[in-house]
Chains A and B, each alone.
Chain A
Amino acid sequence: MQEQAKPTHSINRRQFLRTALLTGSVAMVAAAVPGAAFASTRQVAAGQATTLKVVPRNQTLITVRGGTQGKFTEDQLWNPFIATANHQTGPQFVCEPLAFYSAYQDKMIMWLASAYEYSPDYMSLTIHTRPEAMWSDGVPFTADDVAYTYNSLNALGSKVKWGADVNQVLDTATVTDPHTVVLKFKSPAPRFFEYSAYKYDIGIYMMPKHIFEKQSQDISTFPHWDVSKDWPVTTSPWKVVYSAPDQKVFDLRDKWWGTGIVADMPKPQRLVYLPDPGEQNLAQGMISNSFDIVTGIQPTTFPTVFAANPKITTWTGQQAPFGYMDWWPHSLYVNTRSGPTADKDIRWAISSYIDRDQIVDFAWAGAASTAALPLPQYPGTQQFYDASQSLLQQYNTLEYNPAKGDAIFQSKGYAKGPDGIWVAPDGTPMNFDIISFFDFTSVGPVLVEQLKRAGISSNYSEPPNWFDRFSVGDFSMALFGHGGSYGPDPYYTLRLYQTASVAIVATHQTNYSLWENAQYDKIVDDVYAKSPTDHAAMVDAWTQAMSIWLPELPDIQIEQGYHRLPTNETYWTGWPNAQNPYVNSAFFHLTPALIVHKLQPTSA
């Protein structure tokens, strides 16, 4: 095709190009504005609010945790029962419970429920609700809501969070009068109320029957989110005014049923919840007073933060360990079914190669402590530590004694190869893959090095599907914690190692160690039927269980877990701490209401 350079043709082209260039440059310079505007309309539609009222900084409480890559994914889910919802990043502020439990005080703090009592055989539980309790749309909170919540969970079972737990024991929940509900169980359930109460990450959230029963979706899928209808409807003093991947904003309502009855009206006028921006930005945000309390930072970052902003403090002030002992002790889980770790002597040998003090030193800069048992050391659990002392003398789970480990390996026929790694009698060298997640990134490399020096080669990684593999036993070693007991009831920790349970229908999936012992199982089943108030029986059962557990060492004990949450006292004081431990300061657990109702503004 020939392009003749006719005058008219070239002028056309030139003119076209000129206009194109002009419009192009104008468009480019102005691109920022329409781009931002477009972004804003989309964002606005998602967050469902067009404007927020202005609230000064000193009346706002800003918290930071969660999200991935700086964005929340569950921002449209305000029904924490949905499996992909996350009560740690928002719903914990607005969904109130029947009661709170504070492990440090070993105290049940009644909230929506005023009292409860079991029948002597623990086959039924009667719960009394407070007549003053009210939902945010003016409808009273009654026993109907409690019964509705429990019956729905029972009906849906494993399709919904906590459903399987409820389904195991609950028969029906019936309302006898507007403020009384009776729960009938299939088998004795002396722990049911305490299980429903909010503590750490465990508790049953109460849902409004009058909203949920009208939906076509059930409690397992209904998101309960619509700002125009003032959803979520809750009994809390907070109203969700904005929720999007970048932030969640709660404004204080004018009235709240609990004022003067269970607590004071909160002083903050607004709560803002932000996703985690990474270690450097967390520190910078705290220093610049952009945040009031954030998710944990590295122990080594605390001195920098304190030096730059003296108003920042922690549970233990400005001293190590910069936090409180969490309910989640850490250990090195090993596969007790396959591989060399199926042999309990090998497990003990590996345990003797680990220098826990060095882990505390290098991984946590000394801001941690070791744990001899898979149990936190709380006022309520201390008795179990005391009762285990003589057993622990014999079976020292914290002992660092490489010579002992060497002796065991040699007695099993292992020999050290030329590279210093133990080789089994059949010729396979000792090699493990340790998997875990970001909570353990500091520990992994230190542990790998310790094992290497002992003659065990390993490598540490954090694959995205690690929990998947961990929960089905597809691992050789893993670093994880224990979500067990936190009070004078040892049942929850003991059940972590049960195979199946006779007294309760359906198996648990919590025995990550895959360890099985019929005798141990029976002891734990017996504990379940007894009430946790029978302290002597509890300690006795614990000791019996430990005398089986300790020689076997299903997982290797390392340390206590700590929450090192920096709190900023520039705008708010009254945070719980070691002097005033009214509850653990994790605002992402289910207990932050206890904190928020106590915070006082400063003069800033």
Chain B
Amino acid sequence: MRADYLAKRVGLFLLILWLASTINFFLPRLGGQDPVRAQLGAQAAMGGGSQVGMKEMIAEYDSRFGLTKPLWEQYLTYLNDTAHLNFNFSMSAYPTKVIDIIWRSLPWTLTLLGVTTLMAWTIGTVLGALLTQPNAPRFLKFLLAPILTLSAIPFFLLGLLLIYLLGFQLRWFPLAGGYDQGLLPALDPKIIANMIYHSILPALSIILASIGFWTLGMRGVMISTQGEDYLLFAESKGLRGATVFWRYAIRNALLPQLTALALALGNVVSGAVLVEVIFQYPGVGSLLYQSIRASDFFMIQGVVFMIIVAIGVATLVLDIVYPLLDPRISYARR
């Protein structure tokens, strides 16, 4: 039974992967823009001058990138390459390979957004749960309103304000970038500390802006859980309030919160684009935006494919792990 379910799930995962990749292939080409011409044109415009022989140069690059081949041939090549994780060269950053650029940027995004999402989720969940307890510390109740307001501000706006207030006016934090200029990223504790220092403002804006959502969600779930019979039973058994709270209420309320977390992780990269652009953070989000603006097909394909794989794997893992967490769910459910 279990193996059967697993096989079906994995099969579905691969199907989604293929479908999404196909859309990923066609989407950037929808506009009919020639990425090479766009790139060369941008350089010419920046240079303020005019380039004789642009047409020939474009033709040369087009053939070099295989853009002159018929579409179906490009598609098959793309499928084959993608299966080998070969995303070709980046058109805008030629001759750098797409995979190298992705590897450079991915850790920044994963670290920043992964950590902040998890932190916001944890803080929000605990806060939301505590808010439902009548004997929770009083100041928590007053936190609700400001948190809600902060959640209402789109986090990229919050980021701008934080840069201005904390970075510029108060000079507590650096203004932009992943680390101080003149420093090289290295396995040096001081440099790593510097990188963490630079990530505090972006992290703060994401956390502050998303805590409210998790808090309310958890509060809602906790309140529904509180009506459940087993809690009443636990209380009448004479268990301590804290025990009932932590081992009965929260444990069960966590399940829907976890599902929501998994779904949210999928949206992490969408949100990353705006945050990274505002903070000049060298992650995958700004990379994606950069490559879309430049119509760099190969880069877009590479980045989006990695994202799809990440989300697909996360969903797959959750689907498999969920029944472990909630024994009421059985694999045999249709």
Please determine if A and B sit in direct contact within the complex, based on CB atoms under 8 angstroms apart.
Answer: yes
Chain B residues lying within 8 Å of A160, measured Cβ to Cβ, are 57
Main secondary structure of the interface of B (DSSP, over half): helix
- Among candidates A38, A157, A242, residue contacting B184 with C-beta atoms closer than 8 Å: A242
Known contacts A39-B107, A50-B186, A52-B182; decide if A471 and B41 are in contact (CB<8 Å).
yes
Contact B53 A157 (CB under 8 A): yes
A17 to B321, CA, bound (A): 11
Contact B192 A40 (CB under 8 A): yes
Contact B282 A245 (CB under 8 A): yes
Chain A residues lying within 8 Å of B204, measured Cβ to Cβ, are none
Contact A3 B184 (CB under 8 A): no
A561 to B332, CA, bound (A): 72
- Contact string against A for B residues 217-251, beta-carbon threshold 8 Å, 1 for contact and 0 otherwise: 00000000000000000000000000000000000
Interface residues of A in 272-292 (CB under 8 A from B): 272, 274-275, 277-278, 280-281, 284-285, 288, 290
A202 to B44, CA, bound (A): 11
- Contact string against B for A residues 157-199, beta-carbon threshold 8 Å, 1 for contact and 0 otherwise: 1111101110110000000000000000000000000000000
A-B contact count (CB 8 A): 251
Contact A468 B38 (CB under 8 A): yes
Interface residues of B in 110-129 (CB under 8 A from A): 110-111, 114-115, 118-119, 122
Interface residues of A in 123-174 (CB under 8 A from B): 157-161, 163-165, 167-168
Contact A223 B184 (CB under 8 A): no
Contact B185 A44 (CB under 8 A): yes
Contact B175 A467 (CB under 8 A): no
Cβ-based interface call for A488 (8 A):
no
Of A64-72, A102-110, A337-345, A524-532, the stretch lying at the interface with chain B is A64-72
- Contact string against B for A residues 35-71, beta-carbon threshold 8 Å, 1 for contact and 0 otherwise: 1111111111011011110010000101000101111
Contact A71 B332 (CB under 8 A): no
- Among candidates B31, B46, B286, residue contacting A71 with C-beta atoms closer than 8 Å: B286
CB distance from B204 to the nearest CB of A (A): 14
Contact A281 B175 (CB under 8 A): yes
- Among candidates B44, B199, B290, B295, residue contacting A465 with C-beta atoms closer than 8 Å: B295
A296 to B265, CA, bound (A): 39
Cβ-based interface call for B73 (8 A):
no
A483 to B110, CA, bound (A): 44
Contact B52 A464 (CB under 8 A): no
Chain A residues lying within 8 Å of B110, measured Cβ to Cβ, are 35
Among B41, B52, B182, B186, the one with the most A-chain Cβ atoms within 10 Å of its Cβ is B52
- Contact string against B for A residues 237-267, beta-carbon threshold 8 Å, 1 for contact and 0 otherwise: 0000010111101000000000000000000
Of B76-84, B94-102, B205-213, the stretch lying at the interface with chain A is B94-102
Contact B49 A274 (CB under 8 A): no
Chain A residues lying within 8 Å of B61, measured Cβ to Cβ, are 83-84
Contact B103 A42 (CB under 8 A): yes
Chain B residues lying within 8 Å of A86, measured Cβ to Cβ, are 43, 46-47
Contact A467 B45 (CB under 8 A): yes
- Among candidates A35, A42, A50, A202, residue contacting B104 with C-beta atoms closer than 8 Å: A42
Of B19-27, B140-148, B159-167, the stretch lying at the interface with chain A is B159-167
Which residue on A lies nearest to B169, using beta carbons?
Answer: A284
Interface residues of A in 198-214 (CB under 8 A from B): 200-202
Cβ-based interface call for B319 (8 A):
no
Cβ-based interface call for A357 (8 A):
no
A450 to B308, CA, bound (A): 48
Contact A71 B282 (CB under 8 A): yes
Cβ-based interface call for B304 (8 A):
no
Contact B100 A46 (CB under 8 A): yes
Contact B95 A70 (CB under 8 A): no
For chain B, the bracket of interface size reads 35 or more
Contact A32 B196 (CB under 8 A): yes
- Among candidates B2, B53, B103, B187, residue contacting A163 with C-beta atoms closer than 8 Å: B53
A70 to B287, CA, bound (A): 10
CB distance from A495 to the nearest CB of B (A): 9
Contact B177 A46 (CB under 8 A): no
Of A419-427, A504-512, A536-544, A591-599, the stretch lying at the interface with chain B is A504-512
Which residue on A lies nearest to B56, using beta carbons?
Answer: A158
Contact B115 A32 (CB under 8 A): yes
Chain A residues lying within 8 Å of B270, measured Cβ to Cβ, are none
Cβ-based interface call for B262 (8 A):
no
Chain A residues lying within 8 Å of B185, measured Cβ to Cβ, are 36, 39-40, 43-44
Chain A residues lying within 8 Å of B160, measured Cβ to Cβ, are 280
- Among candidates A83, A480, A496, residue contacting B43 with C-beta atoms closer than 8 Å: A83
Which residue on A lies nearest to B91, using beta carbons?
Answer: A84
A333 to B178, CA, bound (A): 41
A28 to B192, CA, bound (A): 17
Contact B282 A42 (CB under 8 A): no
A50 to B330, CA, bound (A): 53
CB distance from B213 to the nearest CB of A (A): 19
Chain A residues lying within 8 Å of B184, measured Cβ to Cβ, are 43-44, 47, 49-52, 242
Contact B53 A84 (CB under 8 A): no
- Among candidates B43, B182, B286, B289, residue contacting A272 with C-beta atoms closer than 8 Å: B182
Contact A467 B38 (CB under 8 A): yes
Cβ-based interface call for B133 (8 A):
no
A194 to B168, CA, bound (A): 46
Contact A246 B289 (CB under 8 A): no
A129 to B33, CA, bound (A): 45
Contact B41 A467 (CB under 8 A): yes
Contact A272 B181 (CB under 8 A): yes
Cβ-based interface call for A481 (8 A):
yes
Contact B192 A483 (CB under 8 A): no
Cβ-based interface call for B306 (8 A):
no
Contact B330 A164 (CB under 8 A): no
Interface residues of B in 18-74 (CB under 8 A from A): 31, 33-34, 37-57, 60-61
Contact B96 A76 (CB under 8 A): yes
Chain A residues lying within 8 Å of B214, measured Cβ to Cβ, are none
Chain B residues lying within 8 Å of A302, measured Cβ to Cβ, are none
Chain B residues lying within 8 Å of A36, measured Cβ to Cβ, are 107, 111, 185, 192, 195-196
Contact A1 B332 (CB under 8 A): yes
Cβ-based interface call for A437 (8 A):
yes
Chain A residues lying within 8 Å of B3, measured Cβ to Cβ, are none
Contact A28 B118 (CB under 8 A): yes
Cβ-based interface call for B155 (8 A):
no
Known contacts A47-B184, A242-B184, A509-B55; decide if A88 and B46 are in contact (CB<8 Å).
yes
Q: Known pairs A69-B290, A470-B41; list 8 more (Cβ under 8 Å).
A: A31-B111, A36-B111, A42-B104, A70-B282, A158-B54, A164-B53, A200-B49, A467-B42
The 28 sampled A-B contact pairs (Cβ below 8 Å) are A1-B330, A1-B332, A36-B111, A39-B107, A40-B186, A43-B104, A50-B186, A55-B182, A68-B92, A68-B290, A68-B293, A69-B277, A75-B93, A77-B95, A84-B39, A88-B47, A158-B53, A245-B101, A245-B282, A247-B181, A278-B280, A281-B176, A284-B168, A464-B294, A465-B38, A465-B295, A468-B41, A510-B50
Residues of B within 8 A of A (CB): 1-2, 31, 33-34, 37-57, 60-61, 90-96, 100-101, 103-104, 107-108, 110-111, 114-115, 118-119, 122, 160, 163-164, 167-168, 171, 175-178, 181-187, 191-192, 195-196, 199, 276-277, 280-282, 286-287, 289-290, 293-295, 324-325, 327, 330-332
